[in-house]
Amino acid sequence: MKKNKGLLNNLFGFGIDLEEDEQIEKDEKINLTQMEEDTEIEIEEIKENKIETEIETKKNYTEEPYQNFLKEENEKETYKVEKQEKVEEKKERKIESYVDVTSYQNVVSRIKGFEDSKKIARYIKENKIVTLNLEELDTETAQRVIDFLSGAMSMKEASLVEISKCVYVSVPKNQRVLFEGQRNTEKFFREAGK
């Protein structure tokens, strides 16, 4: 057979060995198969990466609302604690505010909030001379306190006198008070007690 191959090769002038062609074809098939396997592996890796990315995205998508939920819950809890502290503070103020003043004729009160207005109105109702210090209040709250107490004073026919920018005195109808220093105020005090 080799002779025939050689004869054909010599006749046609080809320097080709058929066994060599078969080996090249086998090598090409092996290379093609290897390339297909490599391509399949790359495709699998791409799919795995895509799946991992989707899982991370879903994880982040589900964790973010959960984190927001936890944050909101924490804020709600903080608000509840702050609210409870304010309620306890108000209770303490109420306990402090129920002082028996029947043996006193003058009451000096430093008002810390509008809540103290009710206590002061009770003193006015009991015909006490009440000195109000409004230094700790903002202008709006101080005005609300004065407005509220003006109603209580009008019920008892008491007078309100401004001593300074943040200090006032409520004088009951039947009381007389002398304030030295300002003539107009002194006259007003004398008349307020009549």
| Residues 170 and 145: beta-carbon distance below 8 Å | no
Distance in angstroms (rounded) separating the CA atoms of residues 120 and 124: 6
DSSP string covering 19-76: HHHHHHHHHHHHHHHHHHHHHHHHHHHHHHHHHHHHHHHHHHHHHHHHHHHHHHHHHH
How far does Cα 30 stand from its chain's mean position?
Answer: 68
- Grouping H, G, I as helix, E, B as strand and the rest as coil, residue 180 is coil
pLDDT at 105: 87
Other Cβ atoms closer than 10 A to 178: 9
CA distance 118 to 124: 10
The tens-digit pLDDT sequence of the chain (194 residues) is: 444 555 555 555 555 556 666 777 787 888 778 888 888 888 888 888 888 887 777 666 666 777 777 888 888 888 888 888 888 777 666 655 556 777 888 899 999 988 888 889 999 998 999 999 999 999 999 999 999 999 999 989 998 888 888 999 999 988 877 777 655 544 444 444 44
φ, ψ at 157 (rounded to 5°): 60, 40
CA gap 91, 76 in Å, rounded: 22
pTM of the model: 0.46
